Amino acid sequence: MRTQNKSSQAPSYGPHGDGAEIAYSIVDSALGRLIVAGTRRGICFAAMGESDRTLAAELHGDYPRASIRIADPNRPEDSQIAYWADALTKYIAGRSPMPTPPMDIRGTPFQFAVWEQLRAIPPGETRSYSEIARRIGRPRAIRAVGTANGANPVSIVIPCHRAIRASGHLGGYRWGLERKRKLLAMEAQQPNP
């Protein structure tokens, strides 16, 4: 299936990261360790966890054909990785607004439709999977919305933590339900911009 990028610009790499040159940084955050990875064009991966080794393995698993290295602060092309990692840690701590880094991600048109709906949910609010399905014009695609939500490669930037079950229960979260609870609680305490 054809993939596209948010800006309708094709991603800079092929399936499974084929041809990508990815640099990453792992930093401390209020929710544990945070990995931010990107190409020269933008962020392609962001995730949270407890172990640097696990986070790096997850990045390599998502992009098995890419050339992946730790970001070097002395390389000008890597400076954006540190900048966006810092911006995301400040957001997670409730000290700054949601950052909007450029992204270089792959997905199907359906996934991008879901991800755009997630980005449209204001901080401190949630939407059910069924409501997201209705908003993209596919009211019966509730499970597919959940799958697209789970395929989000850039946690926080695409706020998949704002999607919940119709019952009001949190549902799942790739990076752990406790992190989802904390993100939602932090956002609920922040004044809306």
* pLDDT at 171 > cutoff 70: yes
Residue among 186, 164, 158 nearest 172 (CA): 164
Question: In the predicted model, is pLDDT for residue 172 greater than 90?
Answer: no
Choice among 31, 160, 163, 183 that is catalytic: 160
Instruction: Give yes or no for residue 174 having a pLDDT over 90.
Output: no
Q: What is the mean pLDDT of residues 6-16?
A: 76
Distance CA 145, CA 137 (A): 11
pLDDT at 191: 64
**The pLDDT value given to residue 2:** 35
CATH for 109-189? 1.10.10.10
Burial 88-123 (b: 16+ CB within 10 A, else e): bbebbeeeeebeebbbbbbbeebbbbbbebbeebeb
Encoded amino acid at 120, one letter: A
Identify the band that residue 42 occupies on the pLDDT scale cut at 50, 70 and 90: very high
Task: Return residue ranges of the chain for CATH 3.30.160.70.
Answer: 15-92
Rounded Cα gap, residues 83 and 87, in angstroms: 6
Residue span(s) of the chain under CATH 1.10.10.10 come to 109-189
Q: Of 155, 137, 174, 185, whose CA–CA distance to 34 is shortest?
A: 155
Asked if the model's pLDDT at residue 149 lies above 50, the reply is yes
CATH superfamily of 15-92: Methylated DNA-protein cysteine methyltransferase domain (3.30.160.70)
Higher pLDDT pick, 176 / 110: 110
> How far is Cα 192 from Cα 144, in angstroms, rounded to an integer?
30
On whether the CB atoms of residues 186 and 92 are closer than 8 A, the answer is yes
According to DSSP, residue 25 is labeled: E
Q: What is the pLDDT of residues 66-110, one digit of tens each?
A: 999 999 988 988 989 999 999 999 999 999 998 899 999 999 999
**Averaged confidence pLDDT in the chain:** 90
Note the pLDDT of residue 4: 42
Q: Tokens for 77, please give them.
A: 């092309």
- Torsion, Cα 108 113 118 120, to 10 degrees, reads 140
Q: Closest Cα to residue 130, out of 164, 90, 179? A: 164
Give the pLDDT mean for 3-17: 70
Residue 160 known to be catalytic: yes
